[in-house]
Amino acid sequence: MSLIPWTSLNVAVRSFSSTMVQQSKQWRLSQGLSANRNAEGVLTDGPDYTFLDGRPTPLLHKQKLRILKQQDYAAQIVEMCAELDFAKKRHQDILKAEAEEKQKYIDNRLKPKGNLLNRRSNK
């Protein structure tokens, strides 16, 4: 059995081109659609069957997951908005406290005494 060196092997190289996929993705995004055509749509979002008497069909597993995900996003948004409002209010309170402290120092400065105080109060 003879060993063949790697340099003498003819290795077939396959190159897969994804230019059409990229163009399709760019076109879908430019049209305002989702990048993945299977992510949403009538076949994905709609029920598998309907009742003839008009009863609502139960949600599919992926629909439930999507709804829970959206509810989680909404809860996070509400929480972050509350944190932002708290931070804004705290910042305003800190600025107000600094201004009050500065005004307190100005009010507690040395005041004129004796004749200067009497002249000021007579005016």
10 has pLDDT over 60: no
List pLDDT tens digits, range 34-64.
777 777 777 777 777 788 998 888 888 888 9
List pLDDT tens digits, range 60-112.
888 899 899 999 999 999 999 999 999 999 999 999 999 999 999 888 887 76
Structure tokens, 18: 């994804």
The model's pTM is 0.48
What's the whole-number mean pLDDT along residues 114-118? Answer: 70
Contact 88, 80 (CB under 8 A): no
Contact 57, 47 (CB under 8 A): yes
Q: What is the DSSP string of 56-89?
A: PPPPPHHHHHHHHHHHHHHHHHHHHHHHHHHHHH
Contact 69, 77 (CB under 8 A): no
